[in-house]
Amino acid sequence: MSKIIRIGTRDSELALWQAKTVQSQLEHLGHKTQIVPVKSTGDIVLDKPIYELGITGVFTKTLDIAMLNEEIDIAVHSLKDVPTLLPKGIVQAAVLKRGNVRDCLVFKRNEEFLSQRDAVIATGSLRRRAQWLNRYPTHTIVGLRGNVNSRLQKLEDNDWNGAVFAAAGLGRLDIRPEESFNLEWMIPAPAQGAVMITALESDEETLAICAEINHKETEIATSIEREFLNRLEGGCSAPIGALAFVKDEEVHLQAVLLSLDGSKKIEVQRTVTLDKHDELAQFCADYIIERGGKRLMDHLKKSSQDTNIYSTKTLTDDQKQLFHEDVVSESSDFIKISLNRMTPKVLKPLPKNVIITSKNAVEALLTNFAPQELQFENIYCVGRKTKRFVERKIGKVKHTENNSKALAEYLVEYIDGTEVTYFCSDIRMDELPSILNENNIVVKDVTAYETKYDSVKINDTIKGVMFYSPSTVQSYKQENDDDVIAFCIGETTAKEASKHFDDVRIAKIPTVESVIELVNEYFQ
């Protein structure tokens, strides 16, 4: 070939080592070459983890553009950084013989922290993070970005126990510290340790030359790993590991999918004869998908999207599964409950008529008294869930309504007597006692529990907030603005929300599930 082959590469030290290796092999075959360094987004933006950059092929996109503009003839990549689907017009031209596939732990001082409860490990990889937490769930993971040298320096400068690197990168730069060892138990990223060359599909001459330095066994192994990754629809933002290798006319694949926190792990291993390697990736991907992988991947995809709904009450996993696919929710308890101590005088004499408007009041009563001490003649409730809880724990409920106002209006007409004891919070709506007092019914308040505000500042992507009581609304307002939709569990909550929000929506029945249904209706 008479023309000079222009080799496009990132300008990091490791990328240049890879490009020079390709250059050396091509020139050994008699071809003239020139290295063309290009800076990528992944090299420029070092203050964010890769999965937060929001770009597919963060380390390859710039080189792809240069190739399509015919500014370079080939591009050299770390294969693990390349998206599984290449841009139209660009194809894989060759894969060099693979280097060390393993991840490597570089540590400070000693390895004793591995057997200790508390330790701090640095990595910018979700895969490494998830596998480490799966094995060492009490350890803390901190982010780490930059080239290999800068990451080693950050490890030196910070009070961390260790950091995880690709063993191949450390070895290729000849900077692997003595205080290090390979993590044989950690499944590497698909195609880790492999160097890939891409070229234009239409450039037949360049493709033919690159084929001369292609390593077939590495090509087979990495293609299986990348097909597995593609079938799980994973990328840099998913904790996926895969390692294939060819030995004695057989192909072995070990692969794993984990949750972000490492608490869930689905793993597969399979061996087939070399002539059947085309089926290996699909079998292993299907195996993981059928064992909960699809649900886990769906959750991972949502985790990478902006949160658009916030619940002021912590939701269970089952409740989270009820949301529409376009809903990405977060939740926390915006109020904290502290049960009060009540003296025996509260029950002397035993109240005839009792009002209970929440499960918290029931729990406060049962904390202070035995159920047999709470045999009130008439119990009045707000909400069907509260009613069921009272009847399970204390005794028969005479009457229940969906909100406090409706219960007050009922009592004005039908109460047996002229006095009622109201077990309530220190923060409550005055509507119920006010209506009763106005109609000459004496209300004896007993503060059974205290409600403490514990709101958090929500981010700007939130479109709606789920509220379950007037106090959750009041707590929310302490930290946040009112430019969201208020999804409310009932009319009393909605009345308080209406003081602050322009768009207030009320669930059909006073349950968390009904509020979720209300949210789903909006997103549909």
The whole-angstrom separation of Cα 403 and Cα 236 is: 49
Assess contact for 206 and 26: CB atoms under 8 A. Answer: no
Distances in whole angstroms, Cα of residue 184 to Cα of each of 102, 188, 240, 392: 7, 9, 16, 54
The whole-angstrom separation of Cα 335 and Cα 474 is: 10
The whole-angstrom separation of Cα 194 and Cα 184 is: 18
The whole-angstrom separation of Cα 235 and Cα 97 is: 23
Catalytic option among 81, 118, 159, 426: 81
Residues 6+ apart with CB under 8 A from 79: 95, 191, 194, 195, 196, 222, 226
**Cβ–Cβ contacts within 10 Å for residue 424, how many?**
25
Amino acid symbol at 221: A
Assess contact for 21 and 195: CB atoms under 8 A. Answer: yes
**Cβ–Cβ contacts within 10 Å for residue 372, how many?**
8
Assess contact for 419 and 395: CB atoms under 8 A. Answer: no
- What's the token pair of residue 55? 């770009």
- What's the token pair of residue 363? 């729990």
For residue 271, which phi and psi values (nearest 5 degrees)?
Answer: -130, 135
Give the H or E element holding residue 210: helix 204-211
Among 195, 202, 168, residue whose Cα is nearest residue 68? 202
> Is-catalytic flag, 81?
yes
Burial profile 268-302: b = 16 or more Cβ within 10 angstroms, e = fewer: bebebeeeebeebbeebbebbbeeebeebbeebeb
Assess contact for 53 and 107: CB atoms under 8 A. Answer: no
Among 382, 346, 384, residue whose Cα is nearest residue 364? 346
First vs last Cα of the chain: how many Å apart?
A: 60
Length of the chain: 524
For residue 17, which phi and psi values (nearest 5 degrees)?
Answer: -60, -45
**Cβ–Cβ contacts within 10 Å for residue 210, how many?**
25
- Catalytic positions, written as ranges: 81
